[in-house]
Amino acid sequence: MVEMTVTGLALDASNHSPIVLLRDASGRRQVPIWIDNSQAHNIIAGLKREQSDRPLTHDLIISLLVAAELSLSKVIIHAIEDNAFKAVLKLRSNKSTDSESKNTHDKDKPLIEIKARPSDAIALAIRTKCSIWMLEQVVSEASIPVNEEADAEDQNEFKRFLDDLRPADLIRHLKKSHQVDKEPPESPQSNSDKEG
């Protein structure tokens, strides 16, 4: 398995869909994962360490894990099926029972595995600072080579974007994209009328 880090978010030039970028430790391979706007918002909120009186879903999930005495040990992106990445959360129980030996280390406890969308898994990993892993086969299949200079500029631009991002701007963007999705396509008749 290959440990990956979140290097930023980008926009697909063709359709303006957000893309989360994961990079391997060598810095030579990067895996793009297309996500939707709400998933991008959750990842950005985690990267910016935003605290809110009204927690986002991923903050709520972490609170539930804590209440259940579970912790997120690691995230594994393990497959690509039908052009979609597959991921699992590996959870560790923090409960100790009387029957457990006092010499049992946390690493010896079995991990609980839960299926998750990669975007949700990444948003949780960012908030809990746990590691993100990807099977080598997935990295080989989905990675793109990295251009160091262009990537450094992209990272600086992304940091400027995060620094300047206001919640109102994101809400406006989400509303605008939602309205575009709802607009019916033009009929061929109306197009020919406009051209003629």
Q: Looking at the predicted structure, is the pLDDT value of residue 186 above 70? A: no
Q: Which two tokens stand for residue 67?
A: 């209440």
Q: Is the pLDDT of residue 120 over 90?
A: yes
Beta bridge partners of 87: 77, 116
Tell me: pLDDT of 8 over 80: yes
The DSSP-derived string for 126-193 is: HHHT-EEEE-HHHHHHH-EE--HHHHHHHHHHHHHHHHH--HHHHHHHHHHHHHHHHSPPPPHHHHHH
The Cα–Cα gap between 21 and 32 comes to: 5
Mutual angle of helices 167-182 and 37-47, in 10-degree steps: 170
Q: Which of 94-108, 149-163, 180-194 has the lowest mean pLDDT?
A: 180-194
Residue 179 has a pLDDT of: 67
What's the whole-model pTM score?
0.68
Residue 54, Cβ density class (10 Å: 0-12 exposed, 13-18 middle, ≥19 buried): exposed
Give 150's pLDDT tier (boundaries 50, 70, 90). Answer: low
Minimum mean pLDDT among 32-41, 68-77, 172-181: which range? 172-181
List Cα–Cα distances, 15 to 10, 119, 182, 195, in angstroms.
12, 19, 16, 25
- The mean pLDDT of 114-134, rounded to a whole number, is 94
Q: What pLDDT sits at residue 68?
A: 92
| Nearest alpha-carbon partner for 56 in 48, 68, 69, 46 | 46
CA distance 66 to 156: 35
User: How far is residue 56's CA from residue 52's CA, in Å, rounded to a whole number?
Assistant: 8
- Is the pLDDT at 26 greater than 70, yes or no? yes
Q: Is the pLDDT score of 192 beyond 50?
A: no
For residues 18 and 186, what is the distance between their CA atoms, to the nearest angstrom? 26
pLDDT of 131 strictly over 90: yes
Task: Tell me what pLDDT residue 146 has.
Answer: 79
**Residue 115 banded pLDDT, cuts 50, 70, 90:** very high
pLDDT digits (tens, 9 = 90+) for 43-101: 888 888 767 677 778 888 988 998 899 999 999 999 999 889 999 999 999 887 655 55
Q: Is the pLDDT of residue 162 over 50?
A: yes
Give the separation between CA 88 and CA 76, rounded to whole angstroms.
5
How many residues does this entry show for the chain? 196
Q: How many CB atoms lie within 10 A of CB 7?
A: 18
Give Cα separations from 119 to 25, 104, 122, 188 (angstroms).
20, 33, 5, 38
